[in-house]
Amino acid sequence: MAAVVQSDSEEEEFLGFGQQLESSRNVSDSESDISVSSVNTEDLSDFELTDSETEEDGVVPWNTNRDPVEVNPFVQNTGPVTNVTGTSTLDFFKLMFKEENFDRIAEETNRYARQAMAIKADPEWRETNAVEIRAFFAVNIMFGIKQLPEIHSYWSKNPLLGVPEIQKEGVSQHVAPLGWKGLMKCKGTGEIVSMRKMHDTDWKVKLTPEQFVVCRQKGTEPPWSGQFVDFKGKGIYKCVCCGSDLFSSSTKFDSGTGWPSFHSAMEVNSCVAAAPQLSVVEKHDYSHGMVRVEVLCRECDSHLGHVFPDGPPPTGLRYCINSVSLQFQPRDKEK
């Protein structure tokens, strides 16, 4: 053992693991233990399997058939499997909402409405009941299934708009459009359903390109180009995005600016507000190097135009509004 240790001349110098590995990789084919060229590839019959051997060993021979794979047609019924008797729409509705809950909801709704009426009365409101609340829930579910631009469209006779489930006598007589708005006012939120959560992709479907640029991107139509600049009709000007009442024709005047102008915005009555609110909201606008006051729809935040302090009496204001942001409802169709 001592002799082995002392024979330094017979030991090879250790170059480290990395260098040892690299030197082993650099060995040529002629220096390796096995030469690839020494393998005879002419006779490989010993490695081939005969047909009898493949059948005995259970090996499937190579198939040269290039025909497409045949897949049996899928004939099983798809969709959810239910075990509800009758499986009607009403059966599913009763699974989600128990009958005893509607009496309590109607009671709390009426109690909340009475408290609100003590602040400001609403002549259109009347107490509700469990039957109306049940229809109210059903209609709201349908609103989510089929979304239409305006509430009254659900009662439309147009087959492309109207919803037969809502138009049925048992539902329609309990939840008319006006009654639905009243319930929404007094259900505890103080507002009708808002459209503020809609995305730009939704607005692009609902609006024309010109309406989208003005209403959702705060654009401005060229002066004297709008359809309502010289319009003299009597009625209500509504928001083109959500249909909310904005301006009355009685407040419209000729400003000579090239845009429809109004000296007052309409007031919105709410059974939960101490005082009526304007149909529009105002916001400071510092765009384009100017200081202005932007006018927006209260319900959907749609850009309408700007308001200036150079209008006629009684307000001294001039609501300068884009025509494309408005839709007109004649006076004989207001109700």
d(CA 281, CA 263): 15
Which residues fall within 8 angstroms of residue 93, CB to CB, at 6 or more apart? Answer: 138, 141
d(CA 240, CA 208): 10
Contact status, residue 187 vs residue 109, Cβ threshold 8 Å? yes
Q: Determine phi and psi for 277, rounding to 5 degrees.
A: -110, 150
Alpha helices in 58-88 (DSSP H): none
Tokens of 212: 């989208």
Give the torsion sign (CA, 98, 103, 106, 109).
negative
d(CA 257, CA 288): 19
Q: Determine phi and psi for 285, rounding to 5 degrees.
A: -125, 120
Residue 320 designated active-site: yes
Which residues fall within 8 angstroms of residue 166, CB to CB, at 6 or more apart? Answer: 139, 142, 154, 155, 172, 175
Contact status, residue 246 vs residue 238, Cβ threshold 8 Å? yes
Residues 133/134/139/144 CA torsion (nearest 10 deg):
100
d(CA 175, CA 275): 27
Query: How wide is the angle at C-alpha 322 spanned by C-alphas 317 and 328, nearest 5°?
Result: 95
Tokens of 270: 């709410």
d(CA 192, CA 150): 12
Query: How wide is the angle at C-alpha 115 spanned by C-alphas 111 and 116, nearest 5°?
Result: 115
| Active-site residue list | 320
